[in-house]
Structure 1
Amino acid sequence: MPHPLTIKLHQKSRQLEIGFDDGKTFQLPCEYLRVYSQSAEVTGHGPGQETLQLDKQNVNIAEISPVGNYGIKLHFDDGHDTGIYTWQRLYELGEHQHAYWMDYLRRVMRSGHRHPELDALKQPLRNE
């Protein structure tokens, strides 16, 4: 399993950049990390108990704490700070970012809520 060599928080753009020792680097938006938190608040205590996280577009990471030699804890500025992001989980989130994000947007759409990215996808293409 790859291990991170660098972890940089870009608060202005709300991105966590993680460079792994296999040469891969991922730019993970804070919103993405927040909605895919491994905490019980998000995942529940078993299958089917997940809670869809909504309106997290402006969330940022206020602090990052190390957890042993296997991960980090992200302290979000909306008060959420439970759940550990292991190196394996962060790598998985990076590797599957597009698919996971599309799944999240589908779940938001099915729930009847709005998300700015969904609104943008609904806009007709214009010839300019």
Structure 2
Amino acid sequence: MAGLTPNTPTPTNIVVHARSRELVVDFSDGASFHYSFEFLRVNSPSAEVQGHSPDQAVLQYGKQNVTITDIEPVGHYAIQPTFSDGHASGIYSWDYLYRIGRDHDRIWAEYLTDIQTRGLSRTGNEAPPPPKKSGCGGGGCGGGHGHGGGGCGG
């Protein structure tokens, strides 16, 4: 059986290499792709990462040392890995795995450019961005000073 698209090659072998943090998938057309766990995690097809439209995508960072702790088949068309950071909602169809394997170099280069442009890193050691200021002269409202709840002036 093919993936979600009838002409997509199907995996003939899937191997998780825990020590090198790599998933290797061999496909029925002879293609073989090596995916780092980090690459799979930051490109998860889940709505949590991709959003429900391209402008809702959430750039993932600090995932360089993530591992896959479990991997489950999803019917005859996909796998669903569980990552060490708790992410487990990505369903990687054969179509998706084949496409990101084929386009790996371009996808990875774009990712590295995106995190660098935003001042983020693969290790996640950067300081978090400062909180957004809103309302009441830019200082926020009623938060975090031990004076009780929200509301302005009160």
What amino acid does structure 2 have at the position aligned with 1:100?
A: I
Among all aligned residue pairs of Structure 1 and Structure 2, give the percentage whose two residues are the same amino acid. Answer: 45
Please name the residue that 2:139 is paired with: none
| CA RMSD, 1 decimal | 1.0
- Which one of the candidate residues 22, 39, 47 is aligned to 1:15? 22
Larger radius of gyration: 2
Distance 2:54 2:87 in 1: 21
Structure richer in helix, relative to its length:
1
1:71 has 2:78 as partner: yes
Q: What residue ranges of structure 2 are gaps of 5+ in the alignment? A: 1-7, 124-154
Stretches of 4+ aligned residues off by more than 4 angstroms? none
- Which one of the candidate residues 68, 78, 92 is aligned to 1:61? 68
Q: What residue ranges of structure 1 are gaps of 5+ in the alignment? A: 117-128
1:113 CA displacement: 1.3
Alignment of 1:16-95 (within 5 A): 16-95=23-102
Distance 2:122 2:76 in 1: 36
Structure richer in strand, relative to its length:
1
Distance 1:114 1:82 in 2: 23
Distance 2:81 2:102 in 1: 19
Q: TM-score, normalised by structure 1?
A: 0.88
